[in-house]
Amino acid sequence: MYQIFNTPLYKYQKSTDQDSKNLRHYRVLIIGAGPVGLSAAIDLAIQGVEVLVLDESDKVSNGSRAICVSKRALEISERLGVGKKMLDKGVIWNLGKVFFDNKKVYEFNLLPEDGHQYPAFINLQQYYVEEYLVSRIRELQEKGYSIEIRGGNKVEEVINEPEKVTLNINTMDGNYSLSCDWLIACDGPKSTVRSSLGLDFDGQIFEDNFLIADVTMDAEFPTERRFWFDPPFNKGQSALLHKQPDGVWRIDLQLGWDIDKETEKREENVIPRLKAMLGEDVNFKLEWVSIYTFQCMKMEKFKHGRILFAGDSAHQVSPFGARGANSGVQDVDNLCWKLKLVLEEKAPLSLLDSYNFERVFAAEENITNSSRSTDFITPKSKISMAFRNAVLELSERYDFARPLVNSGRLSTPSTYDNSSLNSLDGMKNPTRSRVGAPCPDLPFHDDYLLNKTGNQFCVLTFNCKITETLEDLFLPVKTIEITEGDENKDLMRDRFLGQYKEAVYLLRPDQHIAGRWPSYDKEILLEALKKATGN
Amino acid sequence: MGQINLKPNIKNNDEFYSKLIAAHEGLSEEESIEFNSRLILILSNQVGDPEILAEALEIAKRR
């Protein structure tokens, strides 16, 4: 197998900043070159904000790690310029099978909805995602964008001052300092920034360990997700089998919290476990193995002065539901346009409080879902186990029990129902595109609507036109006219019009709906734009 | 009358399930059995229809 994660993609190079007599100041610094930090950097750069990413390593993710990429994360990646590459490489899966003990209890189909560019999920190794993001950064650099990534730069100290943030950075050439207006901490669950500020996670809910193995094998398994509750080969725990690109299979075996990690990781202990699962006669090769320990918790606030936390540094969830990296990418999708407006002084500092409000809310939703899945998968008491087993037994024969089976509720974007950026909803339906919701996709001019919105505020008009100019508004606003035709009629009604003949939607740069009305009125639109930018 | 509904009918499955499990938190096994007994009697009264109750008993017996 081509092991991209052994190749340095952003090798340490001494920067002129290190010899400079004056402290070099940046608008935005990002710590951590994972999927979240790299996405944030690209988002800011394409919006014209100078940005530098620092990472202590110089390679992409070691191992497949976060493999399930959700539709919303793909849509965001599309806007950043890597979505199609991810889709081309990724494995699309729709069929899920659920096993209890030694029998299959039921199967489900994700039944992808028509008229979306991206499927509900693809499986793609995290190192590919990071590789694509890094090459996108290289592409932007060639085009002259102010974006840089520095490997072998370990941040040792963070000083959060009222007007700036100062960093002390260690390199093989010694230490140097940088300062910035804003720091985005995307440095993972063990965040140095978090600990250096003496901040902690709020409320640890539980801790568990997973043996994660990537294998290639001769046996042909179909492209589907298989989930086992209490299988004979991993008694009292769960197991997951998932297909990745390059003929690699991902196996997650739950180990419980009370284990010795070093012992479990040894090949002589891993191989028998995998044989018991795959069958004695299946030839397989172990590509990568790791023990993943997770906790379910979050910081109380994601914004501390001029430091903004995003991704695993701010919140951690169980792996059930693919709510880790997918929610981290949504964090920075939410943050970057706000940061840009604040830096350009087109919005007050308080706009960034809405990042905290909206993404803390999303993290809570993710933690609730992932905790419920964990409670179902690993019941904590005898009675809880009895209910769980009753659900699984009944689900084999009776439809009603199937929605109760919880092997992970797959990541969907949050709707920011109570955000201060929302205008009063001018329409009664459709509910799915209410104010605060992420805008649904729609086929549009041989392409898709979400590919057209760009990185700014956007007004969508359905079956109506805006004849006057919007150029006198305090921000650039793009207008997209959508007219009902035979090919999009039902989808448009279902996703945007509901009971109405016409509709006007205001989308934020992160494609969440800031306001919607059954007819156009410039004054109302302007008020909504002010509200959505904290003005 | 009769005809038990075995199609999904609970509005928010995950929320209901987590409340059900939470209701047992801190109870001893004996207390949990007693709790379940009360719960079944309350729900049975809500159902009322003797044919449906008989069907439910039959289905619960199957393994």
**Angle A285-A68-A368 (CA atoms, 0-180°, nearest 5)?**
125
Test B8 with A369 for CB contact under 8 angstroms.
no
Residue B20: list chain A partners with CB under 8 A. 387
In a domain, B22, yes or no: yes
CA within 13 Å, CB half, B40: 10
Structure confidence at residue A485 (pLDDT) = 84
| Angstroms from B17 CA to nearest CA on chain A | 7
Closest CA in chain B for residue A409: B14
Q: Measure CA of the first residue to CA of the last residue in chain B; give whole Å.
A: 26
Residue A400: list chain B partners with CB under 8 A. 5-10
Given pLDDT bands bounded at 50, 70 and 90, which one contains residue B1?
low
pLDDT of B55 above 90: yes
Q: Find the CB nearest B14 among A379, A381, A406.
A: A406
Structure confidence at residue A279 (pLDDT) = 85
Q: Find the CB nearest A384 among B6, B7, B21.
A: B21
In a domain, B7, yes or no: no
Structure confidence at residue A253 (pLDDT) = 93
Structure confidence at residue A204 (pLDDT) = 65
Query: Does residue B29 sit at the A interface (CB-CB below 8 Å)?
Result: yes
3-state SS assignment for residue B17: helix
- Return the number of CB contacts < 8 Å for A and B: 47
- State the Cα–Cα distance between residues A420 and A355, nearest whole angstrom: 10
Structure confidence at residue A205 (pLDDT) = 65
Question: Which residues are bridge partners to A177 per DSSP?
Answer: A168
Q: Taking Cα atoms as reference points, which of A408, A403, A401, A405 lies closest to residue A374?
A: A408
Residues of chain A with CATH 3.50.50.60: 9-15+22-91+119-201+298-365
Q: Taking Cα atoms as reference points, which of A335, A325, A330, A327 lies closest to residue A356?
A: A335
| Helices A382-397, B29-47: inter-axial angle, 10-degree rounding | 40
In a domain, B1, yes or no: no
The total of other beta-carbon atoms located within 10 Å of residue A114's CB is: 9
**Largest Cα span, chain B:** 40
Mean pLDDT within B34-59: 97
The total of other beta-carbon atoms located within 10 Å of residue A48's CB is: 12
In a domain, B6, yes or no: no
Domain count of chain B? 1
- State the Cα–Cα distance between residues A323 and A396, nearest whole angstrom: 28
DSSP H or E run through A83: helix A83-89
- State the Cα–Cα distance between residues B27 and B39, nearest whole angstrom: 14
In a domain, B45, yes or no: yes
Asked whether B35 and B27 are in contact (CB, 8 A), the reply is yes
- State the Cα–Cα distance between residues A170 and A150, nearest whole angstrom: 12
CATH class of A9-15+22-91+119-201+298-365: alpha beta
Name the one residue in this structure whose structure tokens are 């930090």: A37
Q: Find the CB nearest B13 among A369, A384, A404.
A: A404
Residues of chain A with CATH 3.40.30.120: 431-532
ipTM: 0.96
Domain A431-532 listed as CATH 3.40.50.1400:
no
Annotate A123-148 with DSSP letters as a single string. E--HHHHHHHHHHHHHHHHHTT-SEE
Q: How far is CA A480 from CA A161, A378, A450, in A?
A: 42, 49, 11
pLDDT along chain A (535 residues), means of 10: 76 95 96 98 97 94 89 97 97 92 88 87 94 97 97 96 96 97 96 92 77 85 89 92 92 89 88 88 89 87 97 91 94 98 97 98 94 90 95 95 93 95 97 97 93 95 92 93 87 96 97 97 96 97
- DSSP-derived secondary structure letter, A9: S
DSSP H or E run through A507: strand A503-507
Structure confidence at residue A192 (pLDDT) = 93
Test B6 with A383 for CB contact under 8 angstroms.
no
Q: How far is CA B6 from CA A54, A100, A398, in A?
A: 56, 20, 6
Pairing of strands A307-309, A174-185: parallel
Condensed to tens digits (0 to 9), the pLDDT of residues B3-35 reads 899 999 999 999 999 999 999 999 999 999 999
Question: Which residues are bridge partners to B47 per DSSP?
Answer: none
